[in-house]
Amino acid sequence: MAKNKIKNDAITSRDEDFAQWYTDVCRKAELMDYSSVKGFIIYRPYGYALWEMIQAYMDKRFKDEGHENVYMPMLIPSSLLQREKDHVEGFAPECAVVTKGGLETLEEELVIRPTSETLFCEHYAKVVRSYRDLPKLYNQWCSVVRWEKTTRPFLRGSEFLWQEGHTVHATEEEAREETLKMRDIYNETAKELLAIPMLTGRKTEREKFAGAEETYTIEALMHDGKALQSGTSHYFGTGFARAFGMQFLDKDNKMKYMHQTSWGASTRLLGAIIMVHGDDNGLVLPPRVAPTQVVIIPIQQKKEGILDKAYEVETALKAAGIRVKVDASDKSPGWKFSEAEMRGIPVRVEIGPRDLANGQCVVAKRNDGEKITTPLDDQLPEMVKTLLETIHDEMYAKALAHLESHITTVTKMEEIGAVLDEKGGYVKANWCGDEACEVAIKDAYQATSRCIDEHEEANGVCPVCGKKGKHIVYFARAY
Amino acid sequence: MAKNKIKNDAITSRDEDFAQWYTDVCRKAELMDYSSVKGFIIYRPYGYALWEMIQAYMDKRFKDEGHENVYMPMLIPSSLLQREKDHVEGFAPECAVVTKGGLETLEEELVIRPTSETLFCEHYAKVVRSYRDLPKLYNQWCSVVRWEKTTRPFLRGSEFLWQEGHTVHATEEEAREETLKMRDIYNETAKELLAIPMLTGRKTEREKFAGAEETYTIEALMHDGKALQSGTSHYFGTGFARAFGMQFLDKDNKMKYMHQTSWGASTRLLGAIIMVHGDDNGLVLPPRVAPTQVVIIPIQQKKEGILDKAYEVETALKAAGIRVKVDASDKSPGWKFSEAEMRGIPVRVEIGPRDLANGQCVVAKRNDGEKITTPLDDQLPEMVKTLLETIHDEMYAKALAHLESHITTVTKMEEIGAVLDEKGGYVKANWCGDEACEVAIKDAYQATSRCIDEHEEANGVCPVCGKKGKHIVYFARAY
């Protein structure tokens, strides 16, 4: 076993300029490209394949819990968007507006969906009559448009891809259960598929979704110490139901308002994968989400038997359910190595003439550069399969250690700024519950409250005002 | 064996009013609903599940041929759309235009994609440098917007779901091969998945896609004798490449223009399924595309052992890879029967107390109403599996017989109108190649040229002008 890592010169190093490193990786790994409209990106094949892997996993989880996919119109009449007061206030400033169609000026302006609550509400009001029709558990995969001033690939765009779940229930209890269940599914997706540990909790009043009674979130920690909100799940109570007349006849023969939830996760998750796991050689993909898990690189591929062996190994790995490719292009092995590294392919298998003579090959791990010489026999597929699981566990453990070492408990105001400037990450503090104190922290240190801890009770005083704490809250600078 | 069909009173009969029957099926089978914006429909869970089945099949076919999925922006700058003359002329009148974003008037108007050729062209011009980068075989699943005056669910909408493939190649030969290959994949999808036979051929100049050099099509025949264009594949030559500066350095060290194709199929295919196979009891789904292939309906389900048996059979069928559901709701069996019929579920299994006592069950086929009494033993899954394949073959054969009996060769102008009025379907005629004659037929009988026969040579005179035929063309009234 030997370690062997060469810095990839094609990109800026993380420590030098993290923002530039991020953009470099997005482009050099060919995840995306810019289009001629600001904030609207092109998802190139490799980036879209990553999103397809996430979609496949989440879609199955959703369906296993009884959800059904639907598709709602892309355009929302502005009168419909205005039906719920908080909601329109939250989204109107970000809307793209269609004013002309088929060469004519429209009578009513239409908004490209920034999110589809209002459409689902209108539909549920129409199709749900009695408790027998409940619950309705719908989900939609689509893109949404929110006009943003500052944009960054995957993290903040004027258009992004996502799923939005919208459910209605007969009781508050059931709807609250759904809200938490979906937050848990997001959390499990992050852990099981993306090898990313999350902080989970509830948003404060100030940070809640426009129109929600309660917003639950999963929050990741990037390599640079900034937080990234990665999925949210909202309990609406009956607020939208009242605004949209969503009533049903209950078992007791009374008309009641439906209890509602919505939950969404987006292509932001690609940003999380990049910024949690990536290194100075490019992407580092967790094996379960990697479109290609293993790349086989033949050395001196023109020599007899080399390419045949490479394809033979490919066939054997494929049969074991591994996503594998041979790179038989006419580039040099070194070029292929750094391309595979840039793309974050978890495992590289090298087969050269000497390997072939010795009946062995070299298996290299992308996550830590470890190289393992191993027999080229029928045990190889099982060995690689186990290795992929090991890599997942190692990546999760590393990210968890980073997260845990970046949660700092503070009791005084000035500590907050010091911690954020020195090491970043999350600052854990008691909070009195007053929005003014939340805003004071934001104004002083550009850190927002990420979530309220659901498990730990307040045990001290608010670092801003000194009053008794009501909740334990995590503050951080965030994307 | 016994035949047993009861007319479903919930919908208009096909012979009475085909258009109304179609709308009734769309709504009562809960495939779709209307939204508050004209021409923008809601894909309800059952309709969307059908589309997901089609997507899964086609996506695999595309990827097996080396295509990769990407996602391009939803909005196109109007200057970009205007780059290719024929293209903008074809689409500008149908565009939805965004003029405001984030509360401000935009400097340049943005068009919601009616199709994405221009975006792919701009991207290819940027990322393709040499012959080594070719071919690029990209596909995109998305929705597009085309402002339509007259709309009908799935057949013509201001927004519809589709896939659009866009490829670039180093040579004309390769691009032409791709164009035909994709047309063939559409044709096979129709036959293998949807049990729909298609006429295939080439479009005339007049009916070609805006900007294409050649358009190939698959055309289905609906129950009412009208044609439905169901998928098209275009060869662009180097027209767009010249307009967008899409050049590459070829092996001979010369800069050359790329040869391009595009191809698309949409949720129109749902309309084809409905109108080819449906009957007076509702939808009739071909088994391979049916989201639920078998529904098990327990009779007197409160009696001991009935529901247990139903679930036991469900488990056994599931294990055999069959998509199956038990309807254990508290509705009456008769109600469940007609609901399953309306939804077109290919096979219904009835299990009642007498069946249980006799160790048998009744298996009913949706396509022809045939009922088969069969042992409730471990042979049942295999029996049902075979039956589903039989149903597919029967449905295809029936649709093929309908198509073949509705192709009428004509030699005189007045025959065209007579055939179309009396039996509908396709009128097969020699055509001189003159657009005026094509238009004359359209003006006189509201029939358009659907496609030019690629295999049969012209063998007579044009029925309009009497000049020597150049091609054999199929004319029909169409959706």
What CATH number did the domain enclosing A312 receive? 3.40.50.800
Residues A70 and A187 in one domain: yes
Mean pLDDT score, B455-462: 96
Mean pLDDT score, B315-342: 96
Specify the number of domains making up chain B: 3
| Domain end point (choices A213, A243, A277) | A277
3-state secondary structure of A203: coil
Do B223 and B276 contact (CB within 8 A), yes or no?
A: yes
pLDDT at A87 over 90: no
Mean pLDDT score, A382-399: 98
pTM (global) more than 0.90: yes
Task: Tell me the pLDDT band of A85, cut-offs 50, 70 and 90.
Answer: confident
From CA A23, how far away is CA A11, in angstroms rounded?
Answer: 9
CA atoms within 13 Å, Cβ hemisphere of B102: 13
CB-CB under 8 Å, A102 with B147: yes
pLDDT at B327 over 80: yes
Q: Residue B36 class from Cβ within 10 Å (0-12 exposed, 13-18 middle, 19+ buried)? A: middle
Tokens (6 digits) for A142? 């689509």
Please provide the average confidence, as pLDDT, over all residues in chain B.
96
From CA A336, how far away is CA A328, in angstroms rounded?
Answer: 9
Residues A340 and A466 in one domain: no
Note whether residue B6 is domain-resident: no
Which phi and psi (to 5°) does residue B159 adopt?
-130, 135
Residue type for B106, please? L
Instruction: Give me the residue label for tokens 């008691």.
Output: A430
Residues B315 and B460 in one domain: no
Instruction: Give me the residue label for tokens 């580092």.
Output: A284
B457 to chain A nearest CA, in Å? 41
| pLDDT tens column, B441-452 | 999 999 999 999
Least confident of A5-19, B157-171, B455-469: A5-19
Do B44 and B30 contact (CB within 8 A), yes or no?
A: yes
Structural domain of A334 = 294-387
Tokens (6 digits) for A342? 């840039």
Residues B115 and B229 in one domain: yes
From CA A224, how far away is CA A478, in angstroms rounded?
Answer: 10
From CA B388, how far away is CA B401, in angstroms rounded?
Answer: 20
3-state secondary structure of A467: coil
Note whether residue B379 is domain-resident: yes
From CA B479, how far away is CA B476, in angstroms rounded?
Answer: 10
Task: Tell me the pLDDT band of A318, cut-offs 50, 70 and 90.
Answer: very high
| pLDDT tens column, B13-70 | 999 999 999 999 999 999 999 999 999 999 999 999 999 999 999 999 999 999 999 9
- What is the rounded (10 degree) CA torsion for A442, A445, A451, A457? -100
Q: Give chain A's length.
A: 479
Do B458 and B472 contact (CB within 8 A), yes or no?
A: yes
pLDDT for position B87: 85
Total beta-carbon pairs less than 8 A apart between chain A and chain B: 161
Query: How many other C-beta atoms lie within 10 A of the C-beta of residue A373?
Result: 13
From CA A460, how far away is CA A446, in angstroms rounded?
Answer: 23
Note whether residue A75 is domain-resident: yes
Which phi and psi (to 5°) does residue A326 adopt?
-95, 130
Residues B37 and B144 in one domain: yes
Residues B76 and B169 in one domain: yes
The most distant pair of C-alpha atoms in chain B lies apart, rounded to whole Å, by: 81
pLDDT at B135 over 50: yes
Mean pLDDT score, B225-230: 98
Percent of chain A with pLDDT over 70: 98
From CA B221, how far away is CA B420, in angstroms rounded?
Answer: 13
Residue type for B300, please? Q
Note whether residue A284 is domain-resident: no
B5 CA to centre of own chain: 28
Mean pLDDT score, B182-188: 98
pLDDT at B3 over 50: no
Tokens (6 digits) for B302? 């409160």
Partner residue opposite A110 with nearest CB, options B37, B68, B138: B37
Residues B191 and B152 in one domain: yes
Do A469 and A462 contact (CB within 8 A), yes or no?
A: yes
| pLDDT tens column, A92-141 | 899 999 999 999 999 999 999 999 999 999 999 999 999 999 999 999 99
Residues B146 and B261 in one domain: yes
Residues A23 and A57 in one domain: yes
pLDDT for position B344: 98
Note whether residue A399 is domain-resident: no
Partner residue opposite B159 with nearest CB, options A74, A77, A127: A74
Residues A92 and A29 in one domain: yes
**Residue B168 touches partner A, C-beta closer than 8 Å:** no
From CA B223, how far away is CA A60, in angstroms rounded?
Answer: 37
What CATH number did the domain enclosing A43 receive? 3.30.930.10
Task: Tell me the pLDDT band of A3, cut-offs 50, 70 and 90.
Answer: very low
pLDDT for position A99: 97
Do A95 and A112 contact (CB within 8 A), yes or no?
A: yes
Mean pLDDT score, A442-471: 96
Q: What is the ipTM of this complex?
A: 0.95
What CATH number did the domain enclosing A469 receive? 3.30.110.30
pLDDT for position A355: 94
Residues A312 and A366 in one domain: yes
Contact list in A for residue B36 (CB cut-off 8 A) is: 77, 80, 122
Contact list in B for residue A145 (CB cut-off 8 A) is: 74-75
A329 to chain B nearest CA, in Å? 10
Contact list in A for residue B73 (CB cut-off 8 A) is: 35, 37, 40-42, 159
